[in-house]
Each structure stands twice: as C-alpha cells, then as structure tokens.
Amino acid sequence: MPDVFSDGRIRLPNAELAYFPDWLSTVEADGLLAEIVAQTPWAQPRIRCFGREHAVPRLVAWYGDPQASYCYSGLAHSPLPWIAPLDELRKRLQAELQRNFNGVLLNLYRNGQDAMGWHSDDEPELGADPLIASLSLGAERRFDLRRTKSKGIQHSLILKHGSLLVMSGSTQHYWQHQIARTRKINTARLNLTFRLIHSESKQ
Ligand SMILES: O=C(O)CCC(=O)C(=O)O
Ligand SMILES: [Fe+2]
C-alpha cells in the first residue's frame, strides 16, 4: 500500500480507513462541485423495500468505463461516459493511491432530508476487499460507522468540502456506514465514490 494511507489512518478494529480533510483546495472543490452538478443527468431511482416501493432519498448517477455495469439500489446501471472533471479526478486518485478505478457513483444529497441508510459496499463485483475512494464536496455531513448489524454508532466523522475518505481491506466485511438525516443542513452535498468493478465476476 502506498504511504498515503498511513498519514490519515483511522484506527478501528478490522477496518482500513484513512481520511484526508484537505485533499482538494477550497477553490478546486468549489469549481468541481458546480461543474459536476451542472453536467450530470441526475436520476432518482425507485426501490422496493419491505414490500413497498419508494424513491431513494437522494439523486444518483453512475459514470464509468463501458463494461463497468453496477448494481445499486437493487437495479443494474450502465455507466454514463466519463466527463472531463471526473476522469481527471480518477487519474489523480489512481496516481496517489496506486490502484485502478473504472467507475464512480455520485450521490447528491440536496439537503439534510436526503440520506443513505446503513449498508456495506460488499457487492461481489467490487471484489474480495473493495477499495473505495470517497470524495466529498459541498455541505458537511456526518458519516457514521457501526459493526455490521450491531446497534449504535461506534465512530463518526464529519466529511468536509474537498475531503477524501479511503475505505479498503476488510472494512466492508466488518463495518457498515450511513449518512443520517439531519435538520441542521439546508444545502447540498455531493459525494463521489470511485470504485473498481470486476465485470468478469458478474453472471
Ligand atoms: O455519501 C457518502 O459519504 C457515503 C456514500 C456511500 O456510502 C456509497 O455511495 O456507498
Ligand atoms: Fe457506501
């Protein structure tokens, strides 16, 4: 693993987490937020949960290489072709982390009422020990972690504008994460999770 992981390491058992609060300058982060939000054809997929169909509480988009189909919110999604700002971020991450990414999932939380429930990113197409590079732009939201299916939050961090959180190793096997609703936030946050989809492992 490159040295970059050791600086920002968050020490939790059975997890590999590293947080870099100032990965982008504020100016870079401001520009990217405006550009990516404006250029993205946002969707709000409907999912079936406990027998009831409802729209996910956020807007989403999936960009990637043509073969990088990804299943999220219970549906398979073909990738949108890379746009320049996302491809540049991907190349920068690949150089710094010395790992490849072929897709990026975008989540746009329009305000504090948009959220993401407890989950692990452990789909088979992400491989045995998924590496997820998560870039946050816009409003600061709290990112909670808990041991898989346990009750209560074990660790939280505030993901700031321009920050990078890297999850790797066994994190997705032992831990779940969420972005909870909050009344305190009235502005938008964009999160980008760069991933590597192993298309050969799909049926
Ligand atoms: O918005 C975030 O920081 C988390 C997003 C996330 O967990 C995901 O896309 O799987
Ligand atoms: Fe996730």
Q: Which residue has the higher pLDDT, 87 or 202?
A: 87
Percent of the chain with pLDDT over 90: 80
pLDDT at 87: 98
Least confident of 37-51, 107-121, 145-159: 37-51
- DSSP 8-state assignment for residue 43: B
The CATH superfamily label for domain 4-201 reads: Alpha-ketoglutarate-dependent dioxygenase AlkB-like (2.60.120.590)
Cα gap 104→87, rounded to integer Å: 10
Instruction: State how far the alpha carbon of 172 is from the alpha carbons of 41, 48, 106, in Å.
Output: 29, 23, 19
Q: How far is the CA of 178 from the centre of ligand 2 (A)?
A: 7
107 DSSP assignment: E
- pLDDT band at residue 1 using 50, 70 and 90 as cut-offs: low
137 CA to middle of ligand 1, Å? 12
* pLDDT class of 161 with cuts at 50, 70, 90: very high
Distance from the CA of 134 to the center of ligand 1, in angstroms? Answer: 7
Q: Which is more confident, 9 or 51?
A: 9
Give mean pLDDT, residues 57-76.
86
How far is the C-alpha of 56 from the C-alpha of 38, rounded, in Å? 20
Please compute the mean of the pLDDT values over residues 102-109 and round it to a whole number: 97
| The pLDDT of residue 202 is above 60 | no
Rounded average pLDDT over 160-183: 97
Map out the domains of the chain as residue ranges.
Answer: 4-201
- Tell me the best of 193, 194, 195, 197 to mutate to test the pocket of ligand 1, counting ligand atoms within 8 Å of each CB and taking the most: 193
Structure tokens, 120: 């692990």
Structure tokens at 179: 């972005």
